[in-house]
């Protein structure tokens, strides 16, 4: 135990030491603070918290998301724009300079892709139904190849999903090709395999016409406008089942955008409308995607995905990639119910970024966010949405996703993680089929007359 006298002396000593320390250090601290320039800060507290606030801004979160996972757009129509605006002539300065500098017109060029932190896209080769379909499709593939060759340090075509990640990590754009509609294969397995050899890794089963394999959602009317289709195959034809199997064997992603609801259900294992139990077809062996479609529950357009189909999509582990195409973002029936032979009317007042995100949330809340992606349809839309004018605006979309409560981790899945999962599974199904000895499907051609007779 300490004596009272010794304790009192100790306290007085500690007090003297504290006064001396304050007398020396306080003036030094004031001098140090005097040297700090606070002229550009709103408050001293802002200065103290600047580093932590900066890392939590929406902009910083978006940058981190797009730096970790490639944003892969499921559908980009640059090749169609080049044919329309430049007649496929991409070596002239009136194309190359604006393509490099961000002034090309349309919605896509190198500069704006960089500004938008794009990770890549499925570059679509497309031709209207059915005139000169093969020639124009091959020309579209050729123009994409020539752009990739000229800008080899910017674009690279992957063979598979593993290549895609390596390309992203190298700083180049992931650049597989897509073909939009089986009317573009000329009823030929040979042409399908040729497209695969050319870098096609996604095949849309129909466009705005029925074909030999499947029914489309809408068709061109005699006056040149589009209207809802009437069933032809009531889903997928026998030939269609064979072509889907070959698409699976090749390792091409099956795309159900533009198909009728019956076709969607059949390919997702739900059966054709008139199937008997003994005729039931299991559908695609690999997970299908919708490369550029929205939720029918928010916009009742036949190009969008009905709720029951969304549940089938979940069972098959597929992805619905939300599009910015105005007619599919916001629409309604003025009378409150469908009108036979007509399409719903677009609601221009609701063509906004928040409405695009509502489609994501509608699908994500219904079947899970593992089944949501992005498929803009840039350079293929009649006009663009305010705030989503071109590929430089991808970050604005991600920011709105975060504002509506989608987490950073879920956003990573939506921008590219989910599509990469489907792509990987597609590769695995193809490898398994080939390992099991599934042979390439063969065309049945008429025999030639004996040339030596």
Selecting among 109, 215, 255, 377, the annotated active-site residue is 377
Query: CA 313 from chain center: how many Å?
Result: 16
Q: Is 232 a catalytic residue?
A: no
Question: Is residue 267 within 8 Å of residue 288, measured between CB atoms?
Answer: yes
Selecting among 77, 215, 379, 427, the annotated active-site residue is 77
Rounded-to-integer distance, Cα 3 and Cα 15, Å: 19
CA atoms within 13 A on the CB side of 432: 10
Rounded-to-integer distance, Cα 39 and Cα 375, Å: 46
Selecting among 258, 301, 359, 371, the annotated active-site residue is 258
What is the chain's alpha carbon radius of gyration, rounded to the nearest angstrom? 29
Give the three-state DSSP class for 313. Answer: helix
Selecting among 180, 246, 255, 400, the annotated active-site residue is 180
Rounded-to-integer distance, Cα 417 and Cα 425, Å: 13
Rounded-to-integer distance, Cα 64 and Cα 366, Å: 27
Rounded-to-10 torsion of CA 188, 194, 200, 203: 10
Q: Is 327 a catalytic residue?
A: no
Q: Is 280 a catalytic residue?
A: no
**Residues of 100-131 as b/e, b for ≥16 C-beta within 10 angstroms?**
eeeebebbbbbbbbebbbbbbbbbbbbbebee
Q: Is 301 a catalytic residue?
A: no
Query: CA 158 from chain center: how many Å?
Result: 16
Rounded-to-integer distance, Cα 339 and Cα 261, Å: 17
Instruction: Measure the N-to-C terminal CA separation of the chain; round to a whole number of Å.
Output: 127
Facing residues of 254 across strands? 203
With residue 96 as reference, give the H or E element that holds it: helix 93-101
Selecting among 148, 183, 196, 207, the annotated active-site residue is 207
Q: Is 59 a catalytic residue?
A: no
Selecting among 196, 292, 359, 371, the annotated active-site residue is 292
Q: Is 77 a catalytic residue?
A: yes
- The set of catalytic residues is 75, 77, 180, 207, 258, 292, 377
């Amino acid at each position: 135990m300490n004596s009272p006298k010794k304790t009192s002396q100790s306290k007085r000593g500690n007090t003297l030491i504290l006064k001396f320390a304050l007398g020396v250090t306080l003036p030094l601290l004031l001098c140090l603070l005097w040297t700090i320039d606070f002229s550009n800060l709103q408050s001293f507290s802002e200065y103290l918290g600047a580093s932590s606030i900066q890392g939590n801004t929406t902009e910083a979160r978006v940058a981190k998301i797009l730096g970790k996972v490639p944003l892969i757009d499921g559908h980009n129509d640059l090749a169609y724009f080049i044919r329309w605006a430049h007649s496929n002539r991409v070596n002239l300065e009136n194309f190359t300079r604006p393509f490099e500098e961000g002034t090309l017109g349309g919605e896509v060029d190198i500069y704006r892709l960089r500004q938008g932190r794009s990770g890549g896209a499925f570059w679509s080769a497309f031709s209207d139904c059915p005139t000169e379909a093969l020639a124009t499709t091959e020309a579209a593939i050729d123009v994409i190849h020539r752009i990739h060759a000229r800008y080899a340090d910017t674009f690279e075509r992957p063979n598979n999903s593993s290549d895609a990640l390596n390309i992203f990590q190298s700083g180049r754009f992931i650049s597989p090709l897509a073909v939009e509609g089986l009317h573009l294969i000329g009823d030929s397995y040979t042409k399908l395999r040729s497209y695969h050899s050319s870098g096609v890794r996604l095949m849309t089963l129909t466009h705005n016409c029925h074909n030999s394999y499947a029914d489309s959602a809408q068709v061109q009317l005699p006056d040149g406008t589009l209207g809802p289709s009437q069933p032809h195959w009531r889903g997928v034809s026998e030939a269609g089942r064979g072509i889907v199997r070959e698409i699976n064997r090749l390792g091409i992603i099956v795309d159900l955008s533009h198909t009728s609801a019956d076709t969607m259900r059949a390919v997702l294992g739900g059966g054709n409308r008139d199937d008997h139990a003994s005729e039931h077809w299991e559908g695609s062996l690999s997970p299908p995607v919708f490369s550029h479609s929205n939720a029918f529950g928010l916009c009742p357009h036949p190009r969008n995905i009905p709720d029951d189909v969304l549940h089938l999509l979940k069972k098959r582990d597929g992805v619905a990639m939300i599009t910015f195409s105005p007619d599919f973002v916001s629409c309604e029936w003025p009378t409150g119910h469908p009108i036979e032979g007509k399409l719903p009317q677009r609601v221009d007042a609701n063509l906004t970024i928040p409405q695009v995100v509502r489609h994501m949330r509608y699908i994500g809340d219904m079947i899970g966010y593992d089944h949501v992606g992005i498929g803009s349809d840039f350079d293929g839309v009649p006009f663009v949405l305010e705030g989503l004018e071109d590929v430089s605006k991808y970050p604005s979309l991600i920011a709105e996703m975060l504002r509506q409560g989608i987490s950073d981790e879920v956003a990573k899945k939506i921008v590219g993680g989910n599509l990469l999962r489907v792509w990987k599974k597609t590769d695995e199904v193809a490898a398994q089929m080939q390992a099991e000895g599934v042979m390439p499907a063969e065309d049945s051609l008429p025999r030639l007359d004996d040339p030596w007779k």
